[in-house]
Amino acid sequence: MEGLVSPTDSIQINCKFITRLEKLRKLFDNNLQQKNQQNIRSQQSENGIPDWDDILNCYKDLEKSHNEFNMTNIGKQKKVDDQEIDFLKIIVGLYCNTHKLQPIVMDVYDWDQVGSILFNRHWKVCRSKWMESQSTSIIDHPWSREEDNILAQLYEKYAEQNRYNKWSLISMEMSKLCKSNHVRLGKQCRERWINKLNPLVEKGPWYKEEEIKLLVAVLNFGKKWSLISRTDFNNQRTENCLKNRFHTIMKRESSKYEKNQTQKQKEKLYKLKPEDEQKLIEQIIQELRDESFLQQDSDLRRKPRMKFNIGSIDQVFDLIDNNIDNTFQIAIIKKNKINAVL
């Protein structure tokens, strides 16, 4: 029947509960055996680590909420809420005090041990959630030159190993090398490299041909900027650049249709349905192609036929007459004395 747990499932749930609880109890007991508990290196609140009874009650409440969520959401994982983040801080504090570590220098194995206690959370989730909850978060800190240099070196190192996308490992290694009290998350390292540091990124002006290519890619793949950047632009235009340019094109071209429209019609133009937006994109592509063709034709028509009048004949030398095929070699001129005559 639906809503009931089989005996096998209940045994498995109970075993997991006991295993995680035993690990947690062992960490707590090891903390009690530490003589210098006042030198806890993890950044905890002023009240320190709670008593075992409080930890146990918090754990049981979280375990109950996880089980209830799993009963009605099979195959999904519960989002990390504030209560679980508070419990994560406790686990990190116990673990760091036991192993005499700082959270900044914890590696993948350490965070994986924390995640095994925190209801089998992935180590990346545990690390990122803990970092975001601390006052050492980098959100309000600008990037320094030292961080940029270290990030560039680490990226080259991982690129040589064909590990381009290991941003969490890169950020973890950055925390050990940088002489700062704050840390960077993998997402922040990735965005910094792609948007600012990558020397292959094109930052020049956009041409109509590029805009057409972007709009065609949106029709083919949707607004998957990472995929478009990789397949159509060879990573020379960043994801943010593509997204911003797309919205700029849409706003610019849509403004042409606003002149004779009421306010309600303008609002509808910015809230298009997917099929209407697709038609508008196709129309914009055709207009850009027409404009590009007219521009090329106009450039060809305005291209002047130029005659050249060579001044200071004495500056020309090495003009050799080739009698075999009645052609001349190029004249080498010491100074620019060729004046264009229209």
Sign of CA dihedral 42, 48, 52, 56: negative
Q: 3-class DSSP state for residue 202?
A: coil
Question: Is the pLDDT reported for residue 291 higher than 70?
Answer: yes
CA angle (97 as vertex; 96, 103 as ends), nearest 5: 25
The gap from C-alpha 64 to its chain's centroid, in whole angstroms, comes to 35
Q: What per-residue confidence (pLDDT) applies to 260?
A: 53
pLDDT tens profile 169-212? 998 888 888 877 677 888 889 889 988 898 888 888 888 889 89
**Which residues of the chain form CATH 1.10.10?**
145-197
Percent of the chain's residues with pLDDT above 90? 13
Kindly state the average pLDDT of the residues 25-42.
67
Q: What per-residue confidence (pLDDT) applies to 32?
A: 79
Question: Is the pLDDT reported for residue 331 higher than 60?
Answer: no
Q: What per-residue confidence (pLDDT) applies to 48?
A: 61
Name residue 328's beta-bridge partners: 321
Q: What per-residue confidence (pLDDT) applies to 296?
A: 64
Q: What is the DSSP letter of 102?
A: -
Question: What one-character-per-residue DSSP string does 273-290 give?
Answer: -HHHHHHHHHHHHHHHHH
Backbone angles phi, psi at 339, to 5 degrees: -105, 130
Q: Which tokens belong to 4?
A: 């009931």
What does pLDDT average to over the chain? 75
- The CATH class of the 145-197 domain is mainly alpha
**Rg of the Cα atoms in the chain:** 32
Least confident of 114-123, 141-150, 214-223, 327-336: 327-336
Higher per-residue pLDDT: 264 or 64: 64
Residues 281 and 218 sit within 8 Å (Cβ to Cβ): yes
Q: What per-residue confidence (pLDDT) applies to 74?
A: 81
d(CA 191, CA 187): 6
Percent of the chain's residues with pLDDT above 70? 68
d(CA 229, CA 268): 30
pTM score over 0.85:
no
Run of H or E residues at 67: helix 52-72
d(CA 257, CA 224): 27
Question: Is the pLDDT reported for residue 81 higher than 70?
Answer: yes
Please report, for residues 238, 257, 287, 335, the alpha-carbon distance to residue 214 in angstroms, rounded to integers and kept in the order given: 12, 21, 14, 45
d(CA 299, CA 294): 9
Q: Which tokens belong to 248?
A: 């700029």
Kindly state the average pLDDT of the residues 155-171.
89
Q: What per-residue confidence (pLDDT) applies to 321?
A: 44
